[in-house]
């Protein structure tokens, strides 16, 4: 039973990630590199935040609010820096395309790169926060919390992992579009949505 439920939780949490990766990213090697680069950048940002906040844990409950706020703020700064680095990379790729007499990156190419970057961020978050807990779901029992006695803890974790994967993936797509087209409302929407999602958990 544990293997069946563990597999189900895995498919709930990471099924869409695997599907997006297999259908839209895997056929293009450059997009795989974008996923890996993005995942590495986000893991490094999470590790940097955890090193700073490790000194305060375990601690009082009030510590978690500034910890979440500063970690999300750091990730949003890194998101903008990642986009700026992408612009430099795009210029280099277009120069290379001109030399090779190939077409420059178009709007769809940019969206695919944004999607791949978002998948990297979402997958890094899913592995860092979700999969590390869901591994335990393949055991012989389940766990319920006092705050949600109707649903197993692992199912809630799988749903949270799925939600954050989708949110972080498509926030990256929105970010690329917002900064490329200088859409201030979208630029504001991304960090606000990230903060609200982080505080909701």
Q: Which two tokens stand for residue 182?
A: 């200088």
Interval 68-90: pLDDT, tens? 888 899 999 999 999 999 889 88
What does the alpha-carbon distance between residue 73 and residue 158 come to, in Å, rounded to a whole number? 25
CA 36, 177, 162 angle in degrees (round to 5)?
50
Interval 132-167: pLDDT, tens? 777 776 767 676 777 777 887 788 888 888 999 999
Q: Which domain holds residue 34?
A: 2-200
Tell me the average pLDDT across 40-58: 84
Q: How many domains are contained in the chain?
A: 1
Return the percentage of the chain with pLDDT > 70, whole number: 95
CA 30, 47, 113 angle in degrees (round to 5)?
20
């Amino acid at each position: 039973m544990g293997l069946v439920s563990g597999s189900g939780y895995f498919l709930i949490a990471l099924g869409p990630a695997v599907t997006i990766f297999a259908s839209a990213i895997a056929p293009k090697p450059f997009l795989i590199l974008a996923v890996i680069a993005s995942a590495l950048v986000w893991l490094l940002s999470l590790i940097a935040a955890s090193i700073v906040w490790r000194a305060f844990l375990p601690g009082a409950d009030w510590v978690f609010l500034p910890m979440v706020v500063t970690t999300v703020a750091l990730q949003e700064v890194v998101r903008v820096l990642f986009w700026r680095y992408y612009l430099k990379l795009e210029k280099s790729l277009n120069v290379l395309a001109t030399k090779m007499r190939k077409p420059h990156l178009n709007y769809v190419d940019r969206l695919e790169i944004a999607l791949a970057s978002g998948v990297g961020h979402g997958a890094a978050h899913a592995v860092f926060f979700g999969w590390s807990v869901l591994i335990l779901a393949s055991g012989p029992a389940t766990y319920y919390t006092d705050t949600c006695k109707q649903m197993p803890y692992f199912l809630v974790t799988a749903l949270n992992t799925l939600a954050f994967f989708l949110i972080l993936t498509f926030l990256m797509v929105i970010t690329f579009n917002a900064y490329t087209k200088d859409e201030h409302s979208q630029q504001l929407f991304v960090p606000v949505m990230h903060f609200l999602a982080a505080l909701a958990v």
